A and B are shown apart, each in its own frame.
Chain A
Amino acid sequence: MTIQRLVTALAGIVTLLAARPVGAQGKLNVMATTEDLASIAREVGGDRVTIDSIAKGYQDPHFVEAKPSFILKLQKADLLVVVGKELEIGWLPPLIQQSRNAKIQAGADGYLDASLHALILEIPQGQITRAMGDVHPQGNPHYWLDPENAKIIAKDVAAKFSQLRANDRAYFEQRLADFTARLDAAEKRWLAQMAPFKGTKVVTYHRSFPNFAERFGLNVIGYVEPRPGIPPSPSHTLDLIQEMKRQQIKVILMEPYFDQKTPNSIASQTGAQVLVMPPSVGGEKTVTDYFKLFDYNINLLANALKQAGVKPSGH
């Protein structure tokens, strides 16, 4: 008897699957996995969208906790914008699954992978194994640190917004054009600031800055981590110190969420300087949007290189 009732109830649920209510055409509710994507989406969406993000700029985006409070945020979202390239693989899938939100399931209209058209670096060739550390098989996911990629992301975001809110298409397109123009101008400024240091060799903690280095002419010759995701080991640190002395490296770039002990000790033995460079919006108190992220990092870097009296090594 109870089983019969249960079956009836289940049948009812399945029938209702077909008739899902159509969402009201209010403000578009957007969730981004990182503050960088949120900032870019905000530039495009203006006051026609509400935007929130999950990972803070000052935390390691690989190791965000899948807190139930994020489920509540995802439950109401019309659109989820993700970094992709397996950056969020450790925490986003269970959140999406428990969100009970059909709109943002991967492959649905409300799921946007921002990496689809971006320029991705360090795509591994040939056989890859975990002996290489926590490698990302589809390339380095820190691709947002290149203004050119931000333009591509913004374009994809604008297209998605227009698809979901066709009435506001002109508005989004106008804002996209405005953002792209402002970013073009800013990029020119940043490139000019960095031009004197083209080809400067640096060391970074994690592989967070390949796109940044590529765009602004830095040459990353080594990493504090022996392998991606593996903490520094004494033997690797010694090798790195030797190499830095040999190549006269003056700058170590590190993310704000790593321990400064090893970089500081390397710096003291090589005479290099440790720069804590936020790789994300929110990584530093004053870095509140995508423009300020580059303003901050480029100023920090240019000043440090000037002080160190770095002469471009040239190619």
Chain B
Amino acid sequence: MKQALRRVCTALAAGTLILAPTFASAQDSPQALRQEIDQLRKDFDALKQQYGDRLTALESKLAAAEGTPAPAEPAPAAAAQPAAGLAAAAPAPEPTAQVPPGAAGAGGPTGALPVYGGAAGSKVFNPDIAVIGNFLGAMGRNTVAPSPALEMHESEASFQAVVDPYARGDFFFAFGEEGVELEEGYVTLTSLPWGLLTKVGKMRAAFGKVNTMHDHVLPWTDRPIVTENLVGGDEGITDAGMSVARLIPNPWFFLEATGQVFRGDSGPVEQPLFRSGKPGNLSYVGHLRGYHDITESTNIDLGVSYAYGHNDADPRDIGLLTTDLFGVDATLRWRPLQRSIYHSFVGRSEWIRSRREQPLGRPERTRRGQEQPVGREIADGFYVSGDYQFARRWYAGARFDRSGRATDGSLQDTGGSFLVTFSPSEFSQMRGQYRRTDYAQGPTANEFLFQFQFSIGAHGAHPF
């Protein structure tokens, strides 16, 4: 370290010494100064000539190699007077920088971008940044799972860009009221052989539909009861791991198989879905998705999912026991192409079965010592929902929920919701949801939930 510093100092000193005499001699007389400037000017002109010649030679070589006709002539002059009321046709006069190849595919900019401060165009490599605010409010009575009256539930910051010709990177940070959490952060390898789409990092697992969705793309203000009870709640199956997805070629429809391996920790800390007691307790998720266009405006999306991991049901040996989940999901979409911005319908349903190993009763004394009898608790749950867009900015929806609880499948919670959503623009929306929940234990809850969502920054992809 010290040595390096010393070397830098020496270099700086030497540089100063070399530069100093030049300035000194130049200041000798105005005559000498003028001569020197003339000489410099001549040198510069010669250099310019040289470079110009070389550039022309290179251009012609390039044209010959590529077979492109000489560089495209400037766009036809905007001879006609630009119509009044229209913005001027002239291209921006500011200095511009070419966007790096690859950035556009990420939803980033294309073509020329203004260069700020006239400095190097390194800013064009900055990722696309966006922040989505999600504000929630609740009125009514719920003694089992009360929601805060007013809450800035989540602010999601996303950073997305192309990494290199082979990969892109995506980060989503969730700023809640308690702190910041990496919701997702992964690299996607886009050009692997055999059509493998590979993700490495922390991500939402491909289990069904709702588990893959961020809060702001849900058609509700909450997540269905079955997700809360069986699939890790708000957070869901989100974990560090690897994912590989491949399209299965067939002449009839779109078929994609996804396999994922995770560390094995998912769900809320106080009541986790998966918990790895030791490093080898990985969890696995598999998903098979089929999609078919029935007509140009109607399509169906079907999936089956499986997840397996270790749980903390046995407090003496966390990770000893396991949980597995089966899921079936179906989505029917209708959107007439010519009126696509005014009317649409999406019907969704998911059915999930949880099989959780857990201790039964008290430990028993056997010949081998104390043994804990273990059983598999089976719990089923599902939701069915529909959302209809009845005007360009208005949506109405309904959802029916029923689910057992992972630790006791006989405790059935049932719920129903009605929703109205208004989107002033693509970048903001307001939503109201009336929700009635019959909990297996405790009184029935009647609530009115409302939500404000707004997005600033880069234009993200529309959800599908």
Contact = CB atoms under 8 A, between A and B. Distances in A.
**Chain A partners chain B:** yes
A67 B340 contact: no
Given A72-B247, A113-B104, A124-B87, A100 B80 contact: no
Contacts of B84: 219, 221
B23 interface: no
A83 B255 CA distance: 29
A72 B192 CA distance: 16
Interface in A103-146: 105-108, 111, 113, 115-125, 130, 133-134, 137-138
A68 B254 contact: yes
Contacts of B166: 17, 102
B109 interface: yes
Contacts of A291: none
Range for the number of chain B residues in contact with chain A = 35 or more
Contact of A13 (B196, B289, B456): B196
A91 B256 contact: no
Contacts of A215: 80
Identify which of A72, A169, A222 gathers the most chain B CB atoms within 10 Å of its CB.
A72
Given A17-B191, A59-B340, A259-B392, A93 B106 contact: yes
A156 B392 CA distance: 37
Identify which of B87, B168, B261, B456 gathers the most chain A CB atoms within 10 Å of its CB.
B87
A56 interface: yes
B188 A97 contact: yes
Contacts of A219: 83-85
A118 B75 contact: yes
A138 B109 contact: yes
A148 interface: yes
A166 B66 CA distance: 9
Interface in A236-287: 256-259
Contact of B338 (A20, A69, A102, A257): A257
Contact of A58 (B90, B113, B338, B392): B338
Interface in B280-318: 280, 282, 289, 291-293, 296, 299, 301
A152 B75 CA distance: 8
A196 interface: no
A305 interface: no
Interface string B63-102: 0001111001001101011111111111110000000111
B168 A97 contact: yes
A230 B75 CA distance: 31
Contacts of B106: 93, 97, 106
Contact of B111 (A113, A124, A148): A113
Given A71-B254, A72-B254, A215-B80, A20 B193 contact: yes
B213 interface: no
Given A152-B75, A215-B80, A67 B291 contact: yes
B425 interface: yes
Identify which of A68, A85, A230, A256 gathers the most chain B CB atoms within 10 Å of its CB.
A68
Contact of A217 (B80, B299, B338, B461): B80
B426 interface: yes
Interface in B179-197: 188, 190-193, 195-197
Identify which of A3, A86, A169 gathers the most chain B CB atoms within 10 Å of its CB.
A86
Interface string B434-448: 000000000000000
A220 interface: yes
A31 B306 CA distance: 35
At the interface, is chain A mostly helix, strand, loop or mixed? loop
Contacts of A183: none
A276 to B, nearest CB: 11
B68 A66 contact: no
A95 to B, nearest CB: 9
A69 B254 contact: yes
Nearest to A138: B111
B341 interface: yes
Identify which of A13, A67, A106 gathers the most chain B CB atoms within 10 Å of its CB.
A106
Nearest to B111: A138
B109 A105 contact: no
B105 interface: yes
B247 A58 contact: no
B191 A105 contact: yes
B87 A107 contact: no
Contacts of A231: 392-393
A63 B83 contact: no
Given A71-B254, A125-B92, A134-B425, A105 B340 contact: no
A100 B192 contact: yes
B60 interface: no
A123 B195 contact: no
B55 interface: no
B240 interface: no
B137 interface: no
A90 B425 contact: no
Contacts of B6: none
A46 interface: no
A259 B391 CA distance: 10
A214 interface: yes
Interface string A187-200: 00000000000000
B461 A230 contact: no
A159 B337 contact: no
Nearest to B291: A68
A13 B193 contact: yes
Contacts of B425: 130, 133-134, 229-230
A105 B111 contact: no
Contacts of A218: 83
Contacts of A258: 341
Contact of A169 (B67, B196, B296): B67
B100 A222 contact: no
B462 interface: yes
Contact of A123 (B85, B92, B289, B427): B92
A107 B92 CA distance: 23
A56 B82 contact: no
A10 B192 CA distance: 11
Contacts of B340: 59-60, 63, 65, 257
A45 interface: no
A108 B101 CA distance: 8
8 contacts: A63-B340, A65-B333, A90-B459, A121-B82, A121-B89, A123-B90, A125-B88, A155-B69
Interface of A: 2-3, 6, 10, 13, 16-17, 20-21, 56, 58-60, 63, 65-69, 71-72, 75, 84-86, 89-91, 93-94, 96-98, 100-102, 105-108, 111, 113, 115-125, 130, 133-134, 137-138, 148, 152, 155-156, 159, 162-163, 166, 169, 210, 213-215, 217-222, 229-231, 256-259, 315
Given A72-B247, A107-B100, A113-B104, 7 more contacts: A10-B242, A72-B254, A84-B104, A86-B459, A107-B162, A108-B101, A120-B91
